[in-house]
Structure 1
Amino acid sequence: MSEEQAQQLLYQLQMLEGYVGDLAHRENTLVTVLQEAISATESLKELKTKPDASSLVPVGLGTFVKSKISSNEKVVLNIGAGVAVEKDTDSAINYLEARIKEIEVALQDASAKKRDAEARLEHGKQQINQMMQSSRSPPQ
């Protein structure tokens, strides 16, 4: 392997390391969003069973105010791009469950891409190691 090829391989490995890092970050973000969506769905399901529930409402900077939920028939749901809609509880649960499925698919995709990139990265590292070994061994 020539020096130019080695430089190119090292550059590719650096790019792959960055890509793996980006995918790991995306994976972590998706896991966080998934947990939040599951929690929201479970909360709405629980609210349906308790018509006169109480809750803590965030008012900012980690400060909460106790509140009584007077109606569990409608919820306001953020659907993205700063848009929120009012939906009945069952529709909101259905929407969230559909989003959970989408997030799970995206998480599986990100995980598969990360595994593939990690495998390519490992293969490239093995090539570099082989090249270094062959350059160290004396000619026969």
Structure 2
Amino acid sequence: MSENNQMQHKYMEFQMLMQQLQQLEQNSENIEKHINDLMKLNENLDVISNTKKDTESLIPLGNGIFLKGSLNDNQSVVMNVGSNLCVEKSLHEAKQTVNIQMQEVSDFMIQLKTEINNTRNKLMQLQKEIQGMN
């Protein structure tokens, strides 16, 4: 392979790795947001357990819209367990489920960060090779 072809090949590889890195970083941001959402959910479950029955509150429907309501049961919640199937769980069971999800997502985040670092290292090495060809 001629030196010019090698240079083009390395440059294309560099561009592909850059795109891969950008996608990995986007995934990392999304996972971080998901972890924060799970942490907030865990905090909300604590608040519910410490809230007296029949306490009036605002129930978020989404996009800044709330419904006035009162808390009838502060010991259980209804959770979506997948495939649009919802089951009633105690607050303790719900917190356990959320904690398991947080651990799984955090473990995935560690793997993702490792992949990001490996990709960055490959990019730096490839950049040195490209600069050495000039």
- TM-score by length of structure 1 reads 0.85
Residue of structure 2 equivalent to 1:48: 49
Q: Which residue does 2:19 correspond to in 1? A: 18
Match of 1:2 in 2: 3
Separation in structure 2 between the aligned mates of residue 2 and residue 80 of structure 1, nearest angstrom? 55
Q: 1:51 aligns to what SS in structure 2?
A: coil
Q: Distance in 1 between matches of 2:68 and 2:83?
A: 29
For residues 68 and 110 of structure 1, the distance between their equivalents in structure 2, rounded to whole angstroms, comes to: 42
Q: Which sections of structure 1, spanning at least 5 residues, go unmatched?
A: 133-140
Secondary structure of the equivalent of 2:66? strand
Q: Report the counterpart of residue 132 of structure 2 in structure 1.
A: 130
Which consecutive residues of structure 2, in runs of 5 or more, have no partner in the other structure? none
Q: CA deviation at 1:66?
A: 3.0
What is aligned with 1:74?
A: 76
Alignment correspondent of 1:28: 29
Q: Deviations over 1:29-54 (max 9, x none)?
A: 10000000011111112211223344
* Aligned partner letter, 1:30: I
After TM superposition, the structure 1 stretch with the greater mean CA deviation from structure 2, 79-88 or 63-72, is: 79-88
- Identical counterparts, % of pairs: 21
After superposition, the C-alpha distances for 1:73-129 in whole angstroms (9 at most, x for unaligned) are: 221222344433221111000000000000110111111100110110111111111
Larger Rg: 1
